[in-house]
Structure 1
Amino acid sequence: MKLRIGKIPYANLFPIFYMLGKECDCSFYEFIEGVPSRLNKMLRKGEIDVSPSSSIEYLKNPSLYQIIEGHSISSRGPIGSILLFSKKNIHGLNNSTVHVSSQSETSVALLDIILKKFYGIQCKMQVSRNPENSGAEAFLLIGDDAIKQGSRVNLQDPAGGQRSRVYDLGEIWYEKTGLPFVFALWIARKKLFEGQGSRVNGQKELLNKFVKDLNTAKEIALKKLVEIAQHSPMKEFMSEEEIISYWNKIDYELTPEHKRGLDLFNRYLKELSCF
């Protein structure tokens, strides 16, 4: 029996998973790859046991999950990979349709909060398989897609000859609230922590081992970003210096201040009836 672990194939988590594989005995783990929305659903249904997961998934279902303390994907300012691309100034987007990725519910909810709470703007969110090719006035990209598109912002839009304006959602959130934004948490199904249910017999010990391995991987990874960048798939479209700069924007911690940011996000979600 192995612990089933979700693996998001985005650049932001590459250092952690790289060091897990290099420094830890992973023979007790089965890694299952998928975008955040897919892994959220699998975790909710019990098809995986632990995963880095969208913060909104935890906030929607706190009775199902236990947070693995000390770990997150957060930012205190620009994150570089959650980006709104617009042909207009953000103030001019009222009543527009914004095409969004289906890969991350957290980022879409954050954009809705930013537009409504911080700018007083009402927009329709249209889920699109390829938002960047939708022809919309504005679109949201996340992860590696956002990084790649962001590197092309100086190119003119072939249809209208307009240059895209780029808004970093992590930067806007921090400017408006002064708190970190927690995009993702490492969470496990609460039954594993409690040792309940037929399948989880013996799994609690495996989970405790994984938490120790995760702590080790993060500690080493943050000290060896230069080395890890040499092995990153991002080298296909970024220099090693750019990769390291991107990772340095990410806050991998989970402190009381991060939790205050998470609580504020939760409050806004409820105020806007997002769930």
Structure 2
Amino acid sequence: MTRRETPAPVRLGRIGYLNVLPIYHPLETRAVDNDFVVESGPPAKLNTIMEAGGLDLSACSSIEYARRPERYLLVPDLAIGSCGPVQSVLLLSRVPLDRASKILVSAQTHTSAALLRLMLATRFGLRPDFETGDIRSRLAAGEPPQAFLAIGDEALRLRRLPDYPYALDLGSEWNAWTGLPFIFGVWIVRREAAAQLGPRMDRAVRTLLAAKAHGAASLPDYALLGEAQGILDAPSLRSYFRGLVYDLGPEEQEGLCAFYAKLAEAGAIPAAPRLEFYQLRDVVAA
């Protein structure tokens, strides 16, 4: 009799930023039991790995779904965004924004860079030049850019640089423009992995949603964890977490669809995709 092989664990992508701590900390501490193999990195890296088939289920830039909707399904009711100030996606400038002729953009972002280009051109009629690079190395080398887009923990750390008094919070500006939440990141399942893994993918998605529920009940604790990492003090981090959206309900979906429609109008994607969700089975096999 041949010995039964243990199935390979589901490969899960984790954005390496503080804002997803409420989702992943319950998994990492086993407060929510799981057997994920986790790959961590900035959104742009996870987009690339997911596209190449190196992950089964991952947090990704929301624009990654729009670029390849035929490859992915959205995890239901799980996202990362804001309905107002996001505090961690910021355009910072040494000069008034309408005078900024060149903007340095972090290579870690796809969605935020697309949103910034769209917003500056469509909302403000501005078309500065863009360059991609590492913001902190430029600052450390004494070569500060005229303006830069920072995301994630880097934005939280750099948001009050005295040499950059002009700031645009992209979450706040989107809400003022559309009246809707902005969804920076979504969780997606590769369609191929869903077909191959079957009930194991069901368990993986349910586990991820259980981690979200656990994290939502413990948000004040994550402010203390972030403070211990030296990012910001706990009161500032409590304000930060309160401003984040982790749901992908009707209003968040409307905001996501509005972003896709505007991208399509601007020619940044061929067409606005339909939102297609992973369908959980009523019964999960043991």
Question: Do both share a fold (TM > 0.5)?
Answer: yes
* Residue 252 of structure 2 is aligned to residue 258 of structure 1: yes
* Residue 128 of structure 2 is aligned to residue 123 of structure 1: yes
* Residue 199 of structure 2 is aligned to residue 205 of structure 1: yes
TM-score normalised by length of structure 2: 0.85
Query: Cα RMSD between the aligned structures?
Result: 1.6
**What's the counterpart of residue 186 of structure 2?**
185
CA deviations 1:70-120 (Å, max 9, x no partner) are 000011010010000011222333xx1111001011000000011011101
**What's the counterpart of residue 85 of structure 1?**
92
CA deviations 1:8-30 (Å, max 9, x no partner) are 1100001110012332222x210
**What's the counterpart of residue 15 of structure 1?**
22
**What's the counterpart of residue 160 of structure 1?**
none
More moved, 83-92 vs 98-107: 83-92
**What's the counterpart of residue 222 of structure 2?**
228
Structure 2 residue runs of 5 or longer lacking an equivalent are: 1-7, 270-286
**What's the counterpart of residue 5 of structure 2?**
none
The structure-2 alpha-carbon separation of the partners of 1:42 and 1:24, relative to structure 1 and needing over 3 Å to count, comes to same
Query: How far apart are residue 121 of structure 1 and its match?
Result: 0.6
Query: How far apart are residue 69 of structure 1 and its match?
Result: 0.6
The residue type equivalent to 2:210 in the other structure is T
The structure-2 alpha-carbon separation of the partners of 1:190 and 1:35, relative to structure 1 and needing over 3 Å to count, comes to same
Query: How far apart are residue 38 of structure 1 and its match?
Result: 0.8
Query: How far apart are residue 234 of structure 1 and its match?
Result: 5.6
Aligned length: 257
The residue type equivalent to 1:169 in the other structure is L
**Residues 31-110 of structure 1: matches in 2 within 5 Å?**
31-93=38-100, 96-110=101-115
TM-score normalised by length of structure 1: 0.89
CA deviations 1:215-241 (Å, max 9, x no partner) are 211112111112233333664131222
Distance 1:237 1:97 in 2: 28
**What's the counterpart of residue 147 of structure 2?**
138
* Residue 105 of structure 2 is aligned to residue 111 of structure 1: no
